[in-house]
Structure 1
């Protein structure tokens, strides 16, 4: 699940970051005059450690994890460990497909979506936000089913996967083949500067090119909780432009686009005819935005943390990027149920062919064999606050700094005071 506005002129990184051993500010130390002026930011992950993360004691890493809102922050994976070593350490059964579980997931998501639409239908206006939240989460289950199809972890027959993937992506207005191509590219280049099609930090060089309106747009869109809907931008930029695909890819891309446009030209007019424009907003648009909240949130929480770097191609290491560079985050049980455990994300990046229903067992295996190198958290205000207010601009030494790193701006000052620092929602 990846989103970005990168390579559109505004977010193309120009420099490389260092690995997990990069120096990020030690708890209690100030990294800049701006931090000195607002020390609360330090508790919200504004600074980094005075020594490489890998050289911290267990006690120091535990303290850092607490300050940043994580349950644990892993050490750096040794250079000699390959991604194949990690994959081989997992039990073979986590790779086995179970068609019964796959089809039951389809039934679960269809029933959940139908029930949530009925909930929307009967809810008074003041309960509609709750109903939309449930429907958006159920909508995300549709994506996860198509997601497994794209990774060839749904069924042994690829044609079945293509059909199911197209059908479950169509209501999301997501063209299956363009998404599959770009998403697989994200997996092949996770946390690699320029190449990763997911979020990565903006550089000062790029910021210098922004006029006031562009700067304000990105500050509001990526420097506030609106960032938790940024996958809408990725959806629009990456999946409908034929110029982004090779001639060999285009025939399948065109089929996917035809499926999406076909759905829009039939379902949308029918919905508006029978329920009106408000019905379109009520039954489709708001659940769709709820789905994008989870798309964006899962992506940034799994791949954005003050201590996790991006690296240039020459320094990039697949094992470190996939295991140590992906965060495990526990979400509420009803969310994990409706989204088919996609939040158990580390094994999915270690081996993308693991089907969703084996992710928990695969995670347990990774914890047993590689747990000291993993970062884990529970979805909480502190992690979200850091992502929205502090993790914006690439810094060669400390991974991230906020948009207002030179002088605190009112937009961010207000957020730093209003968004809680608690470790729970």
Structure 2
């Protein structure tokens, strides 16, 4: 027997057990349960998909968006700003008013995104054609290439936190991070180093442009040596992200995008640039932000492990996800995508309205390996940005490390970093 100790705890290990030390200095025990252990405890009723119920949520979200739009434009704005004025205070009030409006519309728009995500997993109903039609329609409205994302996202689920097969949020190794940051001769790094200002700037770029750059350049995804960069995206029918048999569906995704662009052109011609900007474009930006915000924090945390090919199993990868809490918005507008993400990775065909019961069931099997957090998600975002920059480790288990003096481990430049 041997005892492994770290700054955050200790554990007794046998030769058959595998451990690592996470970013916080706590001992992480690699899960030893199987996917069968998980699936065996999920009640059968959790798999039941109800088309009428799923369609209700789609209609509900659309009605909410239309009602909020009509109320804002026809009643609230004329009543609050009855007299035109160019004073600074009035202009500021108008800015806050429209920002609040787009924020709320962006929340419901994200809710619709999540419902299309249900379609992509075939969790929306028992009818594949219905799922794909609804998902393609909603995602196309949000300029999401439905089938392209469906296929790449499916591969992500099949290889979650696999260092060479996962499709998104693949962290760099220490050497890759060092190369990206350019520790030698990088004037920007020499001046900003591990400063909070640099972390803030990188977060802003991630939140505002992360989704667009992912679908257009496959940033944070796998890299395909020998394949031209312009082919590594979600729009090219013969992209290395997909199989050749998928090319027709990738093309249909592009048809959806082009159709929506024509709709937006007609919107501009009929109602003007301001209507398009305030009712679609800014909520669209909010939606992209929430999408990155949600998915990043579902898969990034100082306690989360990644695995190489020899150590990875489906159950280990699915367990390397985090359930978080987002107040009223999470369960009632974002359809529990934040609060029940762990069970979603173990069985993505369970509809969101049955996910809480299924989640409670698998906790009995997962035990200490079930990861959840009720910390304010904005605080978690900052912690993850500082503490989860690259991964390193031996024995096939890799944990997050950083150059920001956050937590434990060796920095990419070779120096020791501790709190």
Matched, 1:271 2:267: yes
Contact 1:393/1:400 (8 A) holds in 2: yes
CA distance in 2, matches of 1:129, 1:236: 27
Judging by fraction of residues, say which structure has more strand.
Answer: 2
- For 1:385, which of 382, 386, 389 is the aligned residue? 382
Equivalent in the alignment of 1:235: 215
5 Å matches for 1:103-114? 103-114=55-66
- For 2:37, which of 82, 85, 106 is the aligned residue? 85
CA gap 1:75/1:202 in 2 versus in 1, 3 angstroms: closer
Report the alpha carbon displacement of residue 108 of structure 1 after superposing the two structures with TM.
Answer: 1.4
- For 1:259, which of 251, 256, 259 is the aligned residue? 256
CA distance in 2, matches of 1:249, 1:328: 32
TM-score computed with the length of structure 2 as normaliser: 0.74
CA gap 1:262/1:368 in 2 versus in 1, 3 angstroms: same
Alignment deviations for residues 207-245 of structure 1 (CA, whole Å, 9 cap, x no partner) = 4444659979x9668843543342232132342133233
Alignment deviations for residues 98-144 of structure 1 (CA, whole Å, 9 cap, x no partner) = 12211111111211222343465355321222222211111112212
Secondary structure of the 1:249 match is helix
Structure with higher Rg: it is 2
Contact 2:235/2:251 (8 A) holds in 1: no
- For 1:150, which of 98, 104, 120 is the aligned residue? 120
CA distance in 1, matches of 2:260, 2:140: 6
Equivalent in the alignment of 2:301: 305
Secondary structure of the 1:248 match is helix
- For 1:330, which of 300, 325, 334 is the aligned residue? 325
Contact 1:223/1:392 (8 A) holds in 2: no
Gap regions ≥5 residues in structure 1: 1-22, 28-48, 56-63, 409-425
Contact 2:386/2:404 (8 A) holds in 1: no
Contact 2:235/2:253 (8 A) holds in 1: no
Contact 1:202/1:394 (8 A) holds in 2: yes
CA distance in 2, matches of 1:155, 1:317: 29
- For 1:180, which of 150, 154, 177 is the aligned residue? 150
Matched, 1:197 2:192: no
Secondary structure of the 1:224 match is helix
- For 2:53, which of 74, 78, 101 is the aligned residue? 101
Equivalent in the alignment of 2:87: none
TM-score computed with the length of structure 1 as normaliser: 0.73
Equivalent in the alignment of 1:422: none
CA distance in 2, matches of 1:24, 1:233: 41
Secondary structure of the 1:310 match is strand
Equivalent in the alignment of 1:13: none
Gap regions ≥5 residues in structure 2: 15-21, 78-93, 218-232, 413-419
- For 2:314, which of 318, 321, 341 is the aligned residue? 318
C-alpha RMSD of the superposition: 3.2
5 Å matches for 1:24-173? 26-27=7-8, 51=10, 76=29, 78-79=31-32, 81-118=33-70, 121=73, 122-123=76-77, 124-173=94-143
Contact 1:224/1:389 (8 A) holds in 2: no
Alignment deviations for residues 59-105 of structure 1 (CA, whole Å, 9 cap, x no partner) = xxxxx99x89xxxx9974642x2112101111111001112211111
Report the alpha carbon displacement of residue 249 of structure 1 after superposing the two structures with TM.
Answer: 0.6
Report the alpha carbon displacement of residue 167 of structure 1 after superposing the two structures with TM.
Answer: 0.8
Contact 1:24/1:307 (8 A) holds in 2: no
5 Å matches for 1:409-424? none
Equivalent in the alignment of 1:375: 371
Report the alpha carbon displacement of residue 53 of structure 1 after superposing the two structures with TM.
Answer: 10
CA gap 1:297/1:382 in 2 versus in 1, 3 angstroms: same
Report the alpha carbon displacement of residue 276 of structure 1 after superposing the two structures with TM.
Answer: 3.0
Report the alpha carbon displacement of residue 318 of structure 1 after superposing the two structures with TM.
Answer: 1.5
CA gap 1:407/1:304 in 2 versus in 1, 3 angstroms: closer
Report the alpha carbon displacement of residue 296 of structure 1 after superposing the two structures with TM.
Answer: 0.9
CA distance in 2, matches of 1:258, 1:316: 37
Bigger shift: residues 274-283 or 302-311: 274-283
Report the alpha carbon displacement of residue 271 of structure 1 after superposing the two structures with TM.
Answer: 2.3
Bigger shift: residues 112-121 or 357-366: 112-121
Structure with more contact order per residue of length (Cα contacts < 8 Å, sep ≥ 6)? 1
Equivalent in the alignment of 1:362: 358
Equivalent in the alignment of 2:335: 340
